[in-house]
Amino acid sequence: MKKKILALAMASAMALSLLAGCGSGNDTNTNSTGSNGGTASGAQYDKVTLRLSCNGTDLGNDTRTAKLFAEKIEEKSGGLVTVDVFPNDQLASGNMSKGLELLADGTVDIDIHSTSIIANLDNRMMVSTLPWIFADYQEAEDAFFGEGGEFLSSVLAEKGITYLGAVHNGFKAMTNSKHPIQDPDDLKGLKIRVPGGDFFSAFYTAFGASPQAMSWSEVFTALQQGTIDGHDNSLGTINSGNVQEVQKYISISNHVYEAFTWMANSNNFNKLNADTQALIRECVEEACKEMNQTLIAEEADLKTKFAEENGCEIYEFTDEDVAEFTAVVQPVIDEYKEIYGADACAAFGIE
């Protein structure tokens, strides 16, 4: 399902405080991307401050990678390219859909959101979230910096957006406050938060659960108050949102992989000179791949933390569990493979 992203009318006060320019013209050129753009005499890179928006908290994979990127590009550009990082979708008051609107209208230069959120731009991009399609993290990384990334780039280009790369959000675990989830029947009747999108709703409905679409900024309170029973997310995101404090049961199902996708507003990006564009791409890839290794190493420690410090009961799916769950949801998988299309499936190695 495609959602039309409407341009967000920004209040004049925000416009005055946030909008200034980065260009590749001359020293005095000013436009919508940052501060006093243009390439200084003899400089290789544009002198520019980029606005980067992401959804996570300071502990989130996306925010941590954004800050690493900011450090790298400032150092490599000799201080010419700097980045202001805005976590928690703060420029959009916590609303993820509005965060995408800010990218689409050029209010922000670079945006990081998860696969399920960017799929609001084009539903075909949800193909990479089909259950159990990646064997491990390396396979997922290779896809997003390979043929899968090329597919995303072509789709986003139609929306005036430039694909830059992706960092692991992670393989998802299922959490809830009622009982362990070890077989398909354990999901029956549970109110499970989903980030939106028809597929996630269909996935949980197939198991007899009640999916509840909800913005990430609302999830902790809803779990704490019992408005919903559970949700799914990567271990890193569970930790960054302190979900383990209000959810006793965590089943490491690895049923869905999600990436945090890096995107730039194409109009703003194309105003930069070729060297600056290439440096942005280089630093995004370096930051993402470095953080990917860090996140993989951290997951084992998070399992221990959740069990020992938070008293959570951890259950890890076996191959037999995966086969049993897949059998239940296979008709949904087949339906959505048709919806996403052969090209999308082929790009991510889905038969």
CATH number for the domain spanning 165: value is 3.40.190.170
Q: Which residue range(s) make up the domain with 152? A: 12-347
- Domain presence at residue 6: no
- Conformational region of residue 252, where left means phi above 0, alpha means psi within -120 to 50, and beta covers everything else: beta
What average pLDDT does the chain have? 89
User: Is 178 within a domain?
Assistant: yes
The answer to the question of residue 4 being in a domain is: no
On whether residue 144 sits in a domain, the answer given is yes
Domains contained in the chain, number: 1
Q: What average pLDDT does this structure show over 27-55?
A: 67
Residue 52 in any domain: the answer is yes
Q: Is the pTM of this model over 0.85?
A: no
273 occurs within a structural domain: yes
Neighbour tally for 221: CB within 10 Å: 11
Whether residue 1 contacts residue 198, with contact meaning beta carbons closer than 8 Å, is answered with yes
CB atoms inside a 10 Å sphere around CB 75: 11
Contact of 112 with 329, CB cutoff 8 Å? no
Among the residue ranges 13-17, 211-215, 234-238, 310-314, the one predicted with the least confidence is: 13-17
User: Does 1 reside within a domain?
Assistant: no
- Using DSSP bridges, classify how beta strands 161-176 and 257-265 pair: parallel, antiparallel or unpaired: antiparallel
- 193 in a domain, yes or no? yes
Inter-helix orientation angle 274-308/61-76, to 10°: 140
Whose CA is closest to 106, among 4, 30, 31, 17? 31
Evaluate if residue 234 carries a pLDDT over 50.
yes
Q: What is the pLDDT of residue 216?
A: 85
